[in-house]
Amino acid sequence: MSRAKLDEHRRLWREKPVLEGVYRVWFDEILAEVPPGARVLEVGAGPGFLAAHARAERPDLGWIATDVIATPWNDLVADGLRLPLASASVQAVVGLDLVHHLARPAKFFAEAARVVVPGGRVAVVEPWVTPFSYPIYRFLHQEGCTLGLDPWNPFGLVEGEMKDAFDGDAAVAHRLLGRTPGARWAELGFAPPRCRRLNGFAYLLSLGFKPGTLLPRPVLPWLVAADYATRPLAALLGMRAVLVWNRLG
């Protein structure tokens, strides 16, 4: 990801206020997993929207926003595979649209297990594959959705090979949960993850970080309410999931 891409996202965020209402739902899902007074490391903070929301809504938290690109709004430049923090120094590691961009997820989880205190957690919101979302991610999204990928090497990299930070695949988180036994998570220091599926009708109509929107702002509360009301159907209709790994003590 380039700094120019982050600047473009920040410009669209300002020009499309409906985006804040759409993303607030996901931000709050992450914050609900963070205990009071926690020191929190955000990995892949990108344009800084989650950090800004967290600091406004949860001033009790010690929030550290990191990204691989240097920006004036994030706190640290950091690679999620080599975190510049002391061991057992935070209560939570969080991210939005993080895991499906990781070149080597095992290295991230090993690092997260190192910096999180026993009993702490990793909490993320990620794209999720359902009968409804698959054709959208597969054919209409720039990142694609490869159901047969190896979730522990989703981009087929050989040792030492790199990828662009913005490259991603919407199937990664779904495959990680579906293909990883509990013993593998325990090796990495975590209990098997919890998963809450989320709908995303408001997100779809907002067109995300593309110019324009099909979602008038007065309609936003109604679409968000519809997303909540239809959560029992999210296994079929969901677009996202909240995933939480608890650190073993």
Q: What is the pLDDT of residues 99-153, one digit of tens each?
A: 999 999 999 999 999 999 999 999 999 999 999 999 999 999 989 999 999 999 9
Higher-pLDDT residue of 65 and 2 is 65
Give percent helix, percent strand, percent coil of the chain, each to the nearest 5: 40, 20, 40
Q: Residue 25, Cα to own-chain centre: how many angstroms?
A: 13
Residues 6+ apart with CB under 8 A from 107: 81
Quote the pLDDT of residue 166: 87
Per-residue pLDDT for 6 more than 60? yes
CA distance 233 to 224: 15
Domain boundaries, the chain: 3-246
| 191 CB-near residues (< 8 Å, 6+ apart) | 182, 185, 245, 246, 248
For the domain spanning 3-246, the CATH number is: 3.40.50.150
198: number of Cβ within 10 Å = 20
What tens digit of pLDDT does each residue of 44-74 get?
999 999 999 999 999 999 999 999 999 999 9
Could you give the CA distance from residue 90 to residue 112 in angstroms, rounded to a whole number? Answer: 9
Distance CA 23, CA 126 (A): 12
C-alpha distances out from residue 70 to 51, 121, 132, Å: 15, 26, 36
103: which 2 tokens? 């070149």
pLDDT at 82: 95
Which CA distances in Å does 217 have to 19, 49, 212, 238? 9, 19, 12, 22
Phi, psi of 94 (to 5 degrees): -135, 165
Fill in the DSSP letter of residue 85: S
Which residue type occupies 213? T
**Percentage of the chain lying above the pLDDT 90 cut:** 95
pTM of the shown model: 0.96
Query: Quick check: 190 and 113 in contact, CB under 8 A?
Result: yes
Q: Name the band, by pLDDT with cuts 50, 70 and 90, for residue 1.
A: low
Closest by alpha carbon to 238, among 125, 149, 96? Answer: 125
Strand partners, 244: 123, 194
Give tens-digit pLDDT for 143-198: 999 999 999 999 999 988 988 888 999 999 999 999 999 999 999 999 999 999 99
